A and B are shown apart, each in its own frame.
Chain A
Amino acid sequence: MQIDESRAVKAALIATSFLFLGLVLILPLASVFTEAFRRGAEPFFAALIERDALSAIYLTLFVAAIAVPANLVFGLVASWAIAKFEFPGKSFLVTLIDLPFSVSPVISGLVYILLFGSYGLFGPWLIENGIQIVFAVPGIVLATIFVTFPFVARQLIPLMEQQGTGDEEAALSLGASGFQTFRKVTLPNVKWALLYGVLLCNARAMGEFGAVSVISGHIRGKTNTMPLHVEILYNEYNFVAAFAVASLLAFLALVTLVLKSLLEWRYGGELAASGRH
């Protein structure tokens, strides 16, 4: 009776997997760092402290500092409404929240141009009142919130649904107010899943390219985020600088992966009912 593959088959399958993953995942990652240090450390650091690079780094952090908390608050509010109560149309609402995952990033940027651009629905009114959204920082923030919209909510909803309402009911019956119950009972129950969602949300917010590219207008030093700065440098054939900034983003991705794996290993059980991703 054979309930396992032979050693030779196992070894062949593992080897094929390694070869495929090496080709698809590891080589590209390695090439980012090799290209970045092609001319040594000096041009690498010079590319990072150059003025436009610094302003791109600053803008990326600024945008994430607005988009991530916005989605964190939304995620908590939405998951409270969806997970703790019963109402018709619940799964449809969850699908709507997940919608940005199925929309091309380019379209996520385009929708705001169609609304707020000079030919857009609200364009003339915005121009009259001197408010600029498209080709400016507000547009970049909006597009980033759009693409990262589902991250926190979809992490919290399944977990909070599984946890039910028993703990909260106990707190309320002991005299806690609604907000106290949320802060002292619900929040501690979901803290690791919340952190997990924020981590993924942040990685996407800082790395978003398509949506931001459409709406930013690529004004150097003003509306360039790090991924856009990478593209500009690349198109100017300034490869070492392009890969230097890219390697900073790749480093951020590696840190995200390490933190994510640590959360999964240590708090796997507390993360989510429906598993990771």
Chain B
Amino acid sequence: MTVLSLPKRSPSVLPGFGLTMGLTLTWLSLIILIPLAGVFIKSAGLGWDAFLALATDARTVAALKLSFGAALAAAAINAVFGLLVAWVLVRYDFPGRRIVDAAIDLPFALPTAVAGLALTALYAPNGWIGSLIEPLGLKIAYTSAGVVVALVFIGLPFVVRTVQPVLADFDKELEEAAATLGATRFQTISRIVFPALMPPLLTGFALAFARGVGEYGSIIFIAGNIPYRSEIAPLLIVIRLEEFNYAGATAIAAVMLVISFALLLVINLLQAWNRRRIGFTG
């Protein structure tokens, strides 16, 4: 640790603020901000009525519902199992723990198209898992359930990696205190540990959800892409582009961007909450 920052840092004597800030803002504007603004400029050019008609088109609404619904379901599954995995990795010692820990980041490193191909091979009716569940009358590949399966893969590290450090920093003395005061193990976990894990768990859930909403590569192979049933919103953007229906593509993109930015705001608030909570317990 360095010095815990002086009361209020005096103006820095370091050179280069103007230059580096200027370059940062220019590059950021050129690559990110102006291109993103283009979506809203194009949408505004459509006029409100035309935009609304495109955004509330039945196929668009179905695709948006699937993207958001599947992302929500997958984030919920990941919240449960991600918490479990984080708990096991932080609290227990078992052979191969470091390798398991490293493997959690596989979805970050594996290209999404490869993940999509692999999951399709597994869950197709002749695949390792598909052939097991088919006799039970279950079908995952080429249905909306396939979308959820792909998003569980994509979202897992977000939950584990946000919960893990908070759990590792959690003061075990609090648990000991609860136990000496007569709490059962279940009471200690549900009333002492779990509340402290709520902020990171919600943050991880929101991050996984936000990522899932926009996901494309891992889904399109396994989903079967049947309009109104297993067609996700990003794919519908691609389809509209291939039809040279730029207005249609832009309208869907604008709706998704607005919702994504709202989610980003929620995530930032959650992270601020997260930091405050750690501040109290740490």
Contacts and interface: CB of A to CB of B under 8 A. Distances in A.
B226 interface: no
B31 A145 contact: yes
A100 B28 CA distance: 11
A102 B107 contact: no
B143 interface: no
Given A28-B119, A104-B215, A111 B2 contact: no
A207 B111 contact: yes
A102 B2 contact: no
A260 B38 CA distance: 36
Nearest to B42: A114
B16 A207 contact: no
Nearest to B173: A3
Contact of A213 (B15, B238, B268): B238
Contact of A214 (B16, B92, B98, B238): B238
Contacts of B276: none
B227 interface: no
Q: Is the interface of A mostly helix, strand, loop or mixed?
A: helix
A249 B106 contact: no
A103 B102 contact: no
B21 interface: yes
Interface string A29-71: 1011001000000000000000000000000000000000000
A80 B94 CA distance: 42
Contacts of B261: 102
Interface residues of B, number: 100
A184 to B, nearest CB: 14
B213 A29 contact: no
A10 interface: yes
Given A80-B16, A169-B14, A104 B114 contact: no
Nearest to B22: A81
Q: Is the interface of B mostly helix, strand, loop or mixed?
A: helix
B90 to A, nearest CB: 12
B152 A24 contact: yes
Contacts of B244: 119
B234 interface: yes
Contact of A29 (B100, B118, B180): B118
Contacts of A178: 14-16
B136 interface: no
Given A2-B179, A257-B109, A35 B12 contact: no
B185 A146 contact: no
Interface string A228-250: 10110010000000110010011
Interface in B152-202: 152-153, 156-157, 161, 165, 172, 175-176, 179-180, 184-185, 188
B52 interface: no
A132 interface: no
A277 B200 CA distance: 13
B270 interface: no
B32 A32 contact: no
A181 B33 CA distance: 32
A77 interface: yes
A149 interface: yes
B221 interface: yes
Contacts of B21: 81, 85, 87
A249 B102 contact: no
B113 A106 contact: no
Contacts of A86: 9, 12
A20 B13 contact: no
A163 to B, nearest CB: 7
Contact of B32 (A16, A100, A231, A234): A100
Interface string B253-265: 1001100110110
Contact of A96 (B9, B33, B127, B246): B33
In order of increasing CB-CB distance, the 7 nearest A-B pairs are: A104-B214, A207-B111, A209-B217, A178-B15, A111-B35, A210-B216, A28-B118
Interface of A: 1-5, 10, 13-14, 16-18, 20-21, 23-29, 31-32, 35, 74, 77-78, 80-82, 84-87, 93, 95-107, 110-115, 117, 119-121, 142, 145-146, 149, 162-166, 168-169, 172, 178, 181-182, 200, 203, 206-210, 213-214, 226-228, 230-231, 234, 242-243, 246, 249-250, 253-254, 256-258, 260-261, 265, 275-277
21 contacts: A13-B84, A14-B94, A17-B85, A20-B85, A24-B152, A24-B153, A27-B128, A28-B118, A28-B122, A31-B128, A32-B117, A81-B20, A103-B260, A104-B216, A228-B113, A249-B114, A253-B114, A260-B102, A261-B101, A275-B165, A277-B161
